[in-house]
């Protein structure tokens, strides 16, 4: 595999997403915070609720299956469904009939569906009629592999990348509409992959190295196996054999810390605790988030939320820290670019675009 020099890391960020957050208020009205506006969408409680950056899926009190998207609530079916969703895609099935919703449009995938999975920009499903496993990417159906025996799903499905074994036990990677061959690993157990966006990481049993798939190439990152791997958007974070915390992305690698208390990474955010303080990377530079060890850390997109040293909730993005509330006994999450907090009295605080909204 291709080798590279160790250089200063660059930390990628994406453009800000909107904030979309569903909740039940004290009257049990089902409401959403959507891009700075609070809106009631149902007069009674809803169930089986999922929300991503662009959509909210739910069953209303009549068990109608609906989706809220782009400012409107839409009925998808009044039948009982099972569904899976991501920030941008919604897939549901009624028996073997599988449908999906994307950018306001609904389509039937197949009438002979088996298992399926959903990433941020990819759908993978089984077609039992032809015994194929297919991907839907940018509206196109691509066959990944066809089976003669029992059907199985791919080994790992990320936001826009898939690792799988074909019928001949050849490992392959599907990325941005193309399939790349990795190789046959005979005499070893099933490989463990870690997938994010544009990044796939794994310990290679043939070369005994830690490797990644990046930009259509397989590259060795470390000469030995590593542990505690997390693949994110264009980068991967891991602990090497000496127990050091490392970052790799865009052909560049950097050691972050040797004595750390905790760490986590997701989407575009990396956080770790060191010397009783909390750190991250901003544009490739090490930045202190706060001078204490953050608790209950939540990461999404380029936003971090955590329990501060007073028991309240703070948020961090674009190199800026905001103490949103010092009230305790709260629940909080991140949607899009917003930190959403539900208080014990069921009122809501949202930190979005450097403003605090309250309902």
Within 8 A by CB and 6+ apart from 218, the residues are 1, 2, 180, 182, 211, 212
Q: What is the pLDDT of residue 226?
A: 97
pLDDT at 3 over 80: no
Answer for the pair 173, 162: CB distance below 8 angstroms, yes or no: yes
The tens digit of pLDDT for each residue in 141-174 reads 999 999 999 999 999 999 999 999 998 889 999 9
* CA 308 from centre of chain: 24
The tens digit of pLDDT for each residue in 272-293 reads 999 999 999 988 889 999 999 9
Within 8 A by CB and 6+ apart from 344, the residues are 329, 330
Within 8 A by CB and 6+ apart from 150, the residues are none
* Residue 356 CB neighbour total at 10 angstroms: 14
- Which range has the top average pLDDT, 4-13, 16-25, 83-92, 246-255? 83-92
Q: What is the pLDDT of residue 328?
A: 93
Q: What is the pLDDT of residue 189?
A: 65
Q: What is the pLDDT of residue 283?
A: 85
pLDDT at 195 over 60: yes
pLDDT at 12 over 70: no
Q: What is the pLDDT of residue 185?
A: 77
pLDDT bracket for residue 66 (50, 70, 90): very high
- CA nearest 196: which of 252, 125, 275, 249? 249
pLDDT at 198 over 90: yes
Percentage above 90 pLDDT, the chain = 87
pLDDT bracket for residue 17 (50, 70, 90): low
pLDDT at 4 over 80: no
Least confidently predicted of 10-24, 106-120, 123-137? 10-24
| Cross-strand partners of 76 | none
pLDDT bracket for residue 11 (50, 70, 90): very low
Q: What is the pLDDT of residue 1?
A: 45
Better-scored residue on pLDDT, 125 or 250: 125
pLDDT at 187 over 80: no
Q: What is the pLDDT of residue 6?
A: 31
Q: How far apart are CA 242 and CA 260, in angstroms?
A: 13
Q: For all residues of the chain together, what is the average pLDDT?
A: 92
Domain ranges of the chain: 94-153, 160-238
Q: What is the pLDDT of residue 330?
A: 95
- CA nearest 318: which of 344, 345, 341, 337? 337
- Mean pLDDT within 301-315: 97
Q: How far apart are CA 129 and CA 18, in angstroms?
A: 40
């Amino acid at each position: 595999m291709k080798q590279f020099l160790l250089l200063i890391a660059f930390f990628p960020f994406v453009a800000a997403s909107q904030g979309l957050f569903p909740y039940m208020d004290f009257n049990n009205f089902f409401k959403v915070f959507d891009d700075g506006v609070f809106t009631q969408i149902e007069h009674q409680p809803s169930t089986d609720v999922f929300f991503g950056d662009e959509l909210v899926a739910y069953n209303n009190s009549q068990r109608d299956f609906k989706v809220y998207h782009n400012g409107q609530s839409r009925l998808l079916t009044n039948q009982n469904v099972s569904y899976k969703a991501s920030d941008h895609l919604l897939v549901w099935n009624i028996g073997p009939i599988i449908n999906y919703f994307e950018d306001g449009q609904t389509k039937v995938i197949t009438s002979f569906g088996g298992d399926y999975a959903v990433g941020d920009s990819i759908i993978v499903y089984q077609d039992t009629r032809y015994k194929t496993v297919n991907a839907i990417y940018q509206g196109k159906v691509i066959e990944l592999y066809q089976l003669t025996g029992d059907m199985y799903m791919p080994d790992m499905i990320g936001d826009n990348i898939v690792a799988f074994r074909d019928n001949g036990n050849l490992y392959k990677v599907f990325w941005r509409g193309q399939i790349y061959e990795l190789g046959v690993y005979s005499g070893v157990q099933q490989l463990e992959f870690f997938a994010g966006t544009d990044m796939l990481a794994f310990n290679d049993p043939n070369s005994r190295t830690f490797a990644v798939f990046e930009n259509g190439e397989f590259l060795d990152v470390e000469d030995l196996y590593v542990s505690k791997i997390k693949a994110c958007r264009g980068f991967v974070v891991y602990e090497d054999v000496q127990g050091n915390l490392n970052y790799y992305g865009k052909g560049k690698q950097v050691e972050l810390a040797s004595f750390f208390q905790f760490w986590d990474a997701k989407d575009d955010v990396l956080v770790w605790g060191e010397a009783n303080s909390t750190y991250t990377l901003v544009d490739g530079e090490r930045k202190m988030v706060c001078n204490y060890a953050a608790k209950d850390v939540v990461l999404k997109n380029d936003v971090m939320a955590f329990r501060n040293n007073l028991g309240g909730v703070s948020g961090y993005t674009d190199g800026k820290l905001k103490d949103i509330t010092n009230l305790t006994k709260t629940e909080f999450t991140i949607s899009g670019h917003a930190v959403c907090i539900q208080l014990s009295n069921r009122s809501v605080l949202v930190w979005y675009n450097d403003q605090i909204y309250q309902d």
